[in-house]
Amino acid sequence: MSQAQESRAQVGPPLWLLAEVTYRCPLQCPYCSNPLDFAQSDQELSTEQWVSVLRQGRAMGAAQLGFSGGEPLVRQDLPELIAEARLLGYYTNLITSGIGLNEAKVESFREAGLDHIQVSFQASDPELNNAVAGSRKAFEQKLAMARAVKDAGYPMVLNFVIHRHNIHQMEDIIDLCERLGADYVELATCQYYGWAFKNREGLMPSAAQLEVAEREVNARRQTLAEAGSAMKLIFVTPDYYEVRPKACMNGWGSLFLTVAPDGTALPCHSARLLPIEFPNVKDQSLKSIWYDSPGFNHYRGDSWMPEPCRSCDEKDRDFGGCRCQAYLLTGDADNADPVCDKSPHHDRILAARRAADHATAGLEELTYRNARNSRLFFRG
C-alpha cells in the first residue's frame, strides 16, 4: 500500500456537510465570520452544482447537512435543495437570521422535508438588536418568524451572539426565549474571525462581564430545572478566556466539510483566510477533495506539529487548537493556538484580555460590512 493509500485508509468520511449557499445577507453584523471581501464573491454555485455536491456528500457518508450563508433565504432554489436533501436522507438544518422568511416559506420548507430551523437574534430588545443588525425592522421580523417556526412544529432553536454590548442582557435574553417557547438557546460568545477579528477590541467582553454572565446563566439553568422547564441553555465561552484551545472542528478534515458559495471546499468555514490553496467542487469530485487534496491533508494527524504541540500529551485532545486563530494571532498557521498557556504566543491572548478590561468603543465605532449604511443608521 502506498503512503497516499495508507493515509486515505486512516481518514473517515465527512459526517457533517455545511452548504454555505451564499455570502449575500441583508444584515451587516460587525461580528460576521464571513470573509472581509465576501462582497466580491459573486460566482455562486448553480442549483445543479449544489445538487451534485449534496449527492456526492451523501454517497461518502455525510449524514447531517446545514444550509448557511450569509443569509441562505436569498437563494430562491432553497426549497428545491431541501427537497433533494430529504430524498437523499440527510438530517437538514437551516441557519437563518429570519430576515426574508415568512409563514409561506416556513410551510414550503416543512413540506420539502426540512428537519430543523435555527433563528438568530442580536439582542433582547429592538433598539440594540436593530443597531447591530443594521435594519430598523429586524427585531419584529425575527420575533414573528421564531413564532412561525414554533407553530410549524419545529423545535425552536435560538442563537444569540454575545459580545460586550449585549452581555449585560442575559436575564432579558433568557426571559425572551421563555416567552417564545424556545427548546434550545445557544448563547454563543463571539469568536474572533472575519469581521469579529477586525472589531475584536470593540466586541470582546471584559473578564468581569463574562463572570457575571456565566453566573446568571448557571442560576437560570437551576431555576429552569426546578420549574420543570425543558429549555436548554448552552453558553459558549470565548476562546480568549480559556487556557487550553478547543478541539477545532474535532480535528482538521476529520468530521466537517464546508462548501463555500463559489464551490471552494474547506475543512472549516473560516479556513479560506489561510495561505493554503483549497480545491473547488467545480474542478474535483468531493471524494477526491476530502481524501486526496493537499489542502485537506495539510493539518491531518500530528506530523505537521512544531513544539510545544509535538511532544504535548494533550495533542490528541485538542489537535493543536485552531489553525485560523494561530494564523490571525501569530502570522503562522503552524504555530500552537495562542489560547493555550503552553504557547510561546499566549501573551497575545493575555494582552487582548487586558485591552477588553479597558475598552470604551461604542457600537457606532465598530466597522460594519456596509459602512455607509451603518453611518446612516446611527445618524438616524
25 annotated as a binding-site residue: yes
Contact (CB, 8 A) for 256 and 19: no
Is there a binding annotation on residue 32?
yes
Label each residue of the chain as H, E or C. CCHHHHHHHHCCCCCEEEEECCCCCCCCCCCCCCCCCHHHCCCCCCHHHHHHHHHHHHHHCCCEEEEECCCHHHCCCHHHHHHHHHHHCCEEEEEECCCCCCHHHHHHHHHHCCCEEEEEECCCCHHHHHHHHCCCCHHHHHHHHHHHHHHCCCCEEEEEEECCCCHHHHHHHHHHHHHHCCCEEEEEECCCCHHHHHCHHHHCCCHHHHHHHHHHHHHHHHHHHHCCCCCEEEEECCHHHCCCCCCHHHCCCCCEEEECCCCEEECCCCHHHCCCCCCECCCCCHHHHHHHCHHHHCCCCCCCCCCCCCCCCCHHHHCCCCHHHHHHHHCCCCCCCCCCCCCCCHHHHHHHHHHHHCCCCCHHHCCCCCHHHHHHHHHC
324 annotated to a ligand binding site: no
Binding residues: 25, 29, 32
Binding residues for [4Fe-4S] cluster: 25, 29, 32
